[in-house]
Amino acid sequence: MLEFKNTLNRSELNLDPMKQFKTWFEEAKQCILNPETVSLATIDALGRPALRHVFLKQYSDEGFIFYTNYHSNKSKNLELNQQIAMSFFWSKLERQVNIQGVAEKVNPKISNDYFLSRSRGSQISAWSSHQSCVISDRKKLEKNYQFESEKWQSKKMMCPPFWGGYLVRPTAIEFWQGREHRLHDRFIYKRSKNLAWEISRLSP
Ligand SMILES: Cc1cc2nc3c(=O)[nH]c(=O)nc-3n(C[C@H](O)[C@H](O)[C@H](O)COP(=O)(O)O)c2cc1C
Protein backbone atom coordinates (compact mmCIF):
# COMPACT_ATOMS: atom_id res chain seq x y z
CA MET A 1 0.00 0.00 0.00
CA LEU A 2 1.22 3.42 -0.91
CA GLU A 3 2.17 5.64 1.96
CA PHE A 4 0.44 8.91 1.17
CA LYS A 5 2.63 11.93 0.99
CA ASN A 6 0.70 15.04 1.70
CA THR A 7 3.30 17.58 0.79
CA LEU A 8 5.07 18.69 -2.34
CA ASN A 9 8.39 20.44 -1.89
CA ARG A 10 10.44 22.31 -4.39
CA SER A 11 13.47 20.16 -3.58
CA GLU A 12 11.69 16.93 -4.53
CA LEU A 13 10.28 18.19 -7.84
CA ASN A 14 11.78 16.74 -10.97
CA LEU A 15 13.12 19.50 -13.26
CA ASP A 16 11.26 17.85 -16.13
CA PRO A 17 7.46 18.06 -15.71
CA MET A 18 6.85 14.91 -17.78
CA LYS A 19 9.06 12.97 -15.36
CA GLN A 20 7.22 14.56 -12.45
CA PHE A 21 3.95 13.52 -14.12
CA LYS A 22 5.23 9.96 -14.45
CA THR A 23 6.01 9.80 -10.73
CA TRP A 24 2.53 11.01 -9.79
CA PHE A 25 0.73 8.95 -12.43
CA GLU A 26 2.48 5.76 -11.30
CA GLU A 27 1.47 6.51 -7.71
CA ALA A 28 -2.12 7.22 -8.80
CA LYS A 29 -2.24 3.87 -10.65
CA GLN A 30 -1.65 2.09 -7.34
CA CYS A 31 -4.69 3.45 -5.59
CA ILE A 32 -7.08 5.24 -7.97
CA LEU A 33 -9.65 3.63 -10.26
CA ASN A 34 -9.09 4.87 -13.82
CA PRO A 35 -6.45 7.49 -13.01
CA GLU A 36 -6.13 8.01 -16.77
CA THR A 37 -9.50 9.80 -16.81
CA VAL A 38 -8.84 13.41 -17.70
CA SER A 39 -11.11 16.36 -18.39
CA LEU A 40 -10.28 18.04 -21.64
CA ALA A 41 -11.27 21.54 -22.71
CA THR A 42 -11.32 22.96 -26.21
CA ILE A 43 -12.63 26.24 -27.61
CA ASP A 44 -15.40 26.27 -30.19
CA ALA A 45 -15.82 28.53 -33.22
CA LEU A 46 -17.67 31.14 -31.13
CA GLY A 47 -14.95 31.20 -28.46
CA ARG A 48 -16.98 29.15 -25.98
CA PRO A 49 -15.19 26.54 -23.86
CA ALA A 50 -16.29 22.91 -24.31
CA LEU A 51 -15.41 20.31 -21.72
CA ARG A 52 -15.59 16.52 -21.61
CA HIS A 53 -13.61 13.57 -20.23
CA VAL A 54 -11.34 11.30 -22.22
CA PHE A 55 -8.81 8.62 -21.33
CA LEU A 56 -5.10 9.38 -21.44
CA LYS A 57 -3.69 6.45 -23.40
CA GLN A 58 0.00 7.23 -23.68
CA TYR A 59 2.48 9.83 -22.56
CA SER A 60 6.13 10.47 -23.30
CA ASP A 61 8.71 13.26 -23.15
CA GLU A 62 6.76 14.92 -25.97
CA GLY A 63 3.44 15.06 -24.21
CA PHE A 64 0.06 13.39 -23.67
CA ILE A 65 -1.90 11.26 -26.16
CA PHE A 66 -5.63 10.60 -26.29
CA TYR A 67 -7.71 9.02 -29.06
CA THR A 68 -10.97 10.11 -30.56
CA ASN A 69 -13.10 10.54 -33.65
CA TYR A 70 -11.57 13.18 -35.93
CA HIS A 71 -15.08 14.38 -36.92
CA SER A 72 -16.21 14.87 -33.31
CA ASN A 73 -16.94 18.27 -31.81
CA LYS A 74 -13.62 18.33 -29.98
CA SER A 75 -11.76 17.58 -33.22
CA LYS A 76 -13.66 20.30 -35.07
CA ASN A 77 -12.69 22.69 -32.29
CA LEU A 78 -9.06 21.63 -32.55
CA GLU A 79 -9.08 22.19 -36.32
CA LEU A 80 -9.86 25.84 -35.61
CA ASN A 81 -7.88 26.27 -32.43
CA GLN A 82 -5.17 23.87 -31.27
CA GLN A 83 -5.13 25.29 -27.76
CA ILE A 84 -6.25 22.74 -25.20
CA ALA A 85 -6.47 22.32 -21.43
CA MET A 86 -6.58 19.09 -19.44
CA SER A 87 -7.08 18.34 -15.77
CA PHE A 88 -6.55 15.16 -13.74
CA PHE A 89 -7.96 14.83 -10.24
CA TRP A 90 -6.84 11.95 -8.04
CA SER A 91 -9.04 12.25 -4.98
CA LYS A 92 -7.40 9.70 -2.67
CA LEU A 93 -4.07 11.41 -3.12
CA GLU A 94 -5.59 14.89 -2.99
CA ARG A 95 -3.75 15.67 -6.18
CA GLN A 96 -4.59 17.62 -9.27
CA VAL A 97 -2.53 18.08 -12.43
CA ASN A 98 -3.55 20.88 -14.79
CA ILE A 99 -2.12 21.08 -18.27
CA GLN A 100 -2.25 23.71 -20.99
CA GLY A 101 -0.92 22.81 -24.37
CA VAL A 102 -1.22 22.60 -28.09
CA ALA A 103 -2.79 19.55 -29.73
CA GLU A 104 -1.74 17.98 -33.00
CA LYS A 105 -2.81 14.77 -34.72
CA VAL A 106 -0.41 11.89 -34.22
CA ASN A 107 1.15 10.01 -37.09
CA PRO A 108 -1.49 7.65 -38.62
CA LYS A 109 0.79 4.68 -37.90
CA ILE A 110 0.62 5.42 -34.17
CA SER A 111 -3.19 5.60 -34.37
CA ASN A 112 -3.35 2.42 -36.41
CA ASP A 113 -1.11 0.49 -34.00
CA TYR A 114 -3.16 1.62 -31.03
CA PHE A 115 -6.47 0.96 -32.80
CA LEU A 116 -5.44 -2.61 -33.60
CA SER A 117 -4.59 -3.20 -29.92
CA ARG A 118 -8.20 -2.37 -28.88
CA SER A 119 -10.92 -4.93 -28.30
CA ARG A 120 -12.95 -6.03 -31.30
CA GLY A 121 -16.06 -4.39 -29.82
CA SER A 122 -14.29 -1.03 -29.48
CA GLN A 123 -12.99 -1.28 -33.03
CA ILE A 124 -16.43 -2.01 -34.47
CA SER A 125 -17.93 0.72 -32.32
CA ALA A 126 -15.47 3.29 -33.69
CA TRP A 127 -16.50 2.35 -37.23
CA SER A 128 -20.23 2.50 -36.32
CA SER A 129 -20.49 5.82 -34.52
CA HIS A 130 -20.53 9.29 -36.06
CA GLN A 131 -19.38 10.78 -32.79
CA SER A 132 -21.08 14.04 -31.73
CA CYS A 133 -23.67 13.89 -34.58
CA VAL A 134 -27.38 13.83 -33.80
CA ILE A 135 -28.87 10.34 -34.19
CA SER A 136 -32.57 9.48 -34.46
CA ASP A 137 -32.58 6.68 -31.89
CA ARG A 138 -30.48 3.94 -30.32
CA LYS A 139 -31.76 1.38 -32.84
CA LYS A 140 -29.90 3.22 -35.58
CA LEU A 141 -26.66 2.95 -33.61
CA GLU A 142 -27.16 -0.76 -32.99
CA LYS A 143 -27.99 -1.31 -36.65
CA ASN A 144 -24.76 0.44 -37.65
CA TYR A 145 -22.86 -1.74 -35.19
CA GLN A 146 -24.43 -4.91 -36.61
CA PHE A 147 -23.67 -3.77 -40.15
CA GLU A 148 -20.01 -3.03 -39.34
CA SER A 149 -19.65 -6.31 -37.40
CA GLU A 150 -20.73 -8.29 -40.45
CA LYS A 151 -18.68 -6.17 -42.83
CA TRP A 152 -15.45 -6.71 -40.87
CA GLN A 153 -15.96 -10.46 -40.42
CA SER A 154 -14.32 -11.20 -43.76
CA LYS A 155 -11.92 -8.23 -43.86
CA LYS A 156 -8.66 -7.42 -42.16
CA MET A 157 -9.40 -4.80 -39.48
CA MET A 158 -7.97 -1.33 -40.03
CA CYS A 159 -8.19 2.01 -38.26
CA PRO A 160 -10.93 4.28 -39.64
CA PRO A 161 -9.44 7.29 -41.46
CA PHE A 162 -11.67 9.49 -39.27
CA TRP A 163 -10.30 8.16 -35.99
CA GLY A 164 -6.95 8.63 -34.25
CA GLY A 165 -4.83 10.22 -31.62
CA TYR A 166 -3.91 13.72 -30.60
CA LEU A 167 -0.61 14.56 -28.99
CA VAL A 168 -0.90 17.43 -26.51
CA ARG A 169 2.44 19.19 -26.28
CA PRO A 170 2.35 20.95 -22.90
CA THR A 171 3.16 24.63 -22.55
CA ALA A 172 2.35 24.72 -18.83
CA ILE A 173 1.79 22.00 -16.22
CA GLU A 174 0.69 22.60 -12.66
CA PHE A 175 1.03 20.05 -9.88
CA TRP A 176 -1.37 20.63 -7.00
CA GLN A 177 -1.11 18.81 -3.70
CA GLY A 178 -3.96 19.27 -1.25
CA ARG A 179 -2.83 20.22 2.25
CA GLU A 180 -4.37 20.91 5.62
CA HIS A 181 -6.33 24.18 6.10
CA ARG A 182 -6.36 24.62 2.31
CA LEU A 183 -2.72 25.64 2.44
CA HIS A 184 -2.11 23.57 -0.65
CA ASP A 185 1.18 23.17 -2.48
CA ARG A 186 1.09 24.33 -6.09
CA PHE A 187 3.97 24.33 -8.54
CA ILE A 188 3.67 25.43 -12.15
CA TYR A 189 6.13 24.60 -14.92
CA LYS A 190 6.12 27.03 -17.83
CA ARG A 191 8.19 26.95 -20.98
CA SER A 192 10.57 29.90 -21.07
CA LYS A 193 11.79 31.55 -24.29
CA ASN A 194 14.79 29.25 -24.52
CA LEU A 195 12.40 26.28 -24.11
CA ALA A 196 13.70 25.40 -20.65
CA TRP A 197 11.06 24.78 -17.99
CA GLU A 198 10.71 27.45 -15.32
CA ILE A 199 9.15 26.37 -12.04
CA SER A 200 7.20 28.71 -9.75
CA ARG A 201 5.29 28.11 -6.56
CA LEU A 202 1.74 29.44 -6.67
CA SER A 203 -0.35 30.63 -3.81
CA PRO A 204 -3.21 28.24 -3.08
C1 LIG B 1 -14.45 8.41 -18.27
C2 LIG B 1 -14.69 8.74 -19.72
C3 LIG B 1 -13.70 8.47 -20.65
C4 LIG B 1 -13.90 8.77 -21.99
N5 LIG B 1 -12.89 8.54 -22.88
C6 LIG B 1 -13.01 8.95 -24.16
C7 LIG B 1 -11.91 8.86 -25.06
O8 LIG B 1 -10.81 8.42 -24.71
N9 LIG B 1 -12.11 9.29 -26.33
C10 LIG B 1 -13.30 9.82 -26.75
O11 LIG B 1 -13.41 10.20 -27.91
N12 LIG B 1 -14.35 9.93 -25.92
C13 LIG B 1 -14.24 9.51 -24.63
N14 LIG B 1 -15.30 9.65 -23.76
C15 LIG B 1 -16.54 10.28 -24.25
C16 LIG B 1 -16.34 11.81 -24.24
O17 LIG B 1 -16.49 12.31 -22.92
C18 LIG B 1 -17.29 12.55 -25.18
O19 LIG B 1 -18.63 12.21 -24.89
C20 LIG B 1 -17.02 12.24 -26.66
O21 LIG B 1 -15.64 12.17 -26.93
C22 LIG B 1 -17.66 13.30 -27.56
O23 LIG B 1 -17.14 14.54 -27.18
P24 LIG B 1 -17.27 15.83 -28.11
O25 LIG B 1 -18.66 15.83 -28.68
O26 LIG B 1 -17.02 16.99 -27.21
O27 LIG B 1 -16.22 15.71 -29.18
C28 LIG B 1 -15.13 9.33 -22.41
C29 LIG B 1 -16.14 9.58 -21.47
C30 LIG B 1 -15.90 9.28 -20.14
C31 LIG B 1 -17.00 9.59 -19.14
Tell me the CATH number at 190.
2.30.110.10
The verdict on residue 132 lying in a domain is no
Structure confidence at residue 193 (pLDDT)? 87
Give burial (CB, 10 Å; 0-12/13-18/19+) of 203. exposed
Convert the pLDDT of each residue in 96-108 to its tens digit: 999 999 999 999 9
CB of 84 shorter than 6 A to ligand 1 = no
Split into its structural domains, the chain has a count of 1
Domain range for 38: 10-116+162-202
Q: pLDDT at position 4, please?
A: 52
The CA radius of gyration of the chain, in Å to the nearest whole number, is 19
Task: Look at residue 133 and tell me if it is in a domain.
Answer: no
Residue 150 lies in a domain: no
Ligand 1: residue of 68, 73, 90 to mutate (most ligand atoms within 8 A of CB) is 68
Catalytic residues: 182
Does the residue 77 lie in any domain? yes
Q: Is residue 166 part of a domain?
A: yes
Bridge partner residues of 54 (DSSP): 38
The pLDDT, as a whole number, for residue 107 is 98
Indicate whether 153 belongs to any domain. Answer: no
- Report the predicted TM-score, pTM, of the whole model to 2 decimal places: 0.96
Coil/strand/helix, residue 133: coil
In a domain, 110, yes or no: yes
* Residue stretches of the chain with pLDDT short of 50: 1-2
CB of 99 closer than 8 Å to CB of 168? yes
Q: Tell me if residue 18 falls in helix, strand or coil.
A: helix
Beta carbon of 39 within 6 Å of any ligand 1 atom: no
Compute the distance between CA of residue 107 and CA of residue 158 in angstroms, rounded to an integer. Answer: 15
The number of the ligand 1 atom at minimal distance from the alpha carbon of 55 is 8
pLDDT for the residue 6 = 78
Does 50 map to a domain? yes
- In 3-state terms the chain splits into helix, strand, coil percentages (rounded to 5) of 35, 35, 30
